[in-house]
Amino acid sequence: MLLCTQFCRKFGTIPRTQFCTGNTTQGDKQMNPILQDIYSTIIPSAPFIIAAYALFWVVLLVYVIKLARTTQKLSRDIDTLEALIKQQQ
């Protein structure tokens, strides 16, 4: 019921009868049974979805940091090899 109230207040331009039923002037709105069924399926899994996104970003950040360090190391190795080649000539 709280979710429906927040949704109806946020999107006031959407016809309220489409999402909420009840007296809209007194604030005792009831969620549409179809939306209630959908939200009851989605909301319990929200922490897992958030955790998956967080894990994805952490893995991506670690990969980018590792890639940057590898690139720096290769650049130093190339500079060292160039210096050795110049010394031998």
pLDDT of residue 4: 56
Residues with Cβ within 8 Å of 31's Cβ and at least 6 positions away in sequence, in order, are 1, 3, 4, 19, 20, 39
* Dihedral sign (CA 9, 13, 19, 23): positive
Report if residue 34 sits inside a domain: no
10-34 average pLDDT score: 58
Report if residue 8 sits inside a domain: no
Report if residue 69 sits inside a domain: yes
Report if residue 60 sits inside a domain: yes
Flag whether the pTM goes above 0.75.
Answer: no
Residue type, 32: N
Report if residue 57 sits inside a domain: yes
Higher-scoring residue by pLDDT: 20, 53: 53
Domain assignment of residue 65, given as a range: 46-89
**For residue 21, which phi and psi values (nearest 5 degrees)?**
-120, 155
Residue 65 has pLDDT above 60, yes or no: yes
Report if residue 51 sits inside a domain: yes
Residue 28 has pLDDT above 60, yes or no: no
Report if residue 81 sits inside a domain: yes
Confidence category of residue 16, pLDDT binned at 50, 70, 90: very low
